[in-house]
Structure 1
């Protein structure tokens, strides 16, 4: 299995697990958009997980914020400061993984969406 397919499947698994554990959330976007997101992040976007505020980065905005586990899984798998512990706290109070992405809370999130 190709690395990109493994990563897309990892996104799907992380999303399913997080939504199930939270007993809340929307798994449809991460499930359906995983392949596209892996291609975009892996082959086209310029970003630096070690420096999320790098001035020359491309910006990824997930306008359907309720599909936030797609973004959180991508950030986690590509090396941003978003450990598994935070994914397990999806949609919990004071978590870096709120139900909708929030700028300034989660490294790599470019704007708050809903």
Structure 2
């Protein structure tokens, strides 16, 4: 059946629920809501167990639900938000390699002097 412009692809929409289905859906929602506190306590227990492999996921889940998924936190004393810049320098000419090698060889071996 080809698409017809201006006509819905699902003209009847979602089928209506029967009374039994409505009742089951309502019972399901009530059961979910009644177990929410227990579930949260279990997640908190996992988050507090540093040896549990799911500790990080539990912590992330709690933070996401409490503050949202795109929230940035600043740790106390770390208010400085200047970015760390890493500069990538292309490898130089052969002459630069020789100079670096000479500097490396001329550097004093402090670790060897301490051992003696």
When the two structures are superposed, what TM-score results if normalisation uses the length of structure 2?
A: 0.25
Larger radius of gyration between Structure 1 and Structure 2: 2
TM-score w.r.t. the length of structure 1 is 0.25
Structure with greater helix share of residues: 2
Q: Tell me which of the two structures has the higher relative contact order, counting C-alpha pairs closer than 8 angstroms and 6 or more residues apart.
A: 1
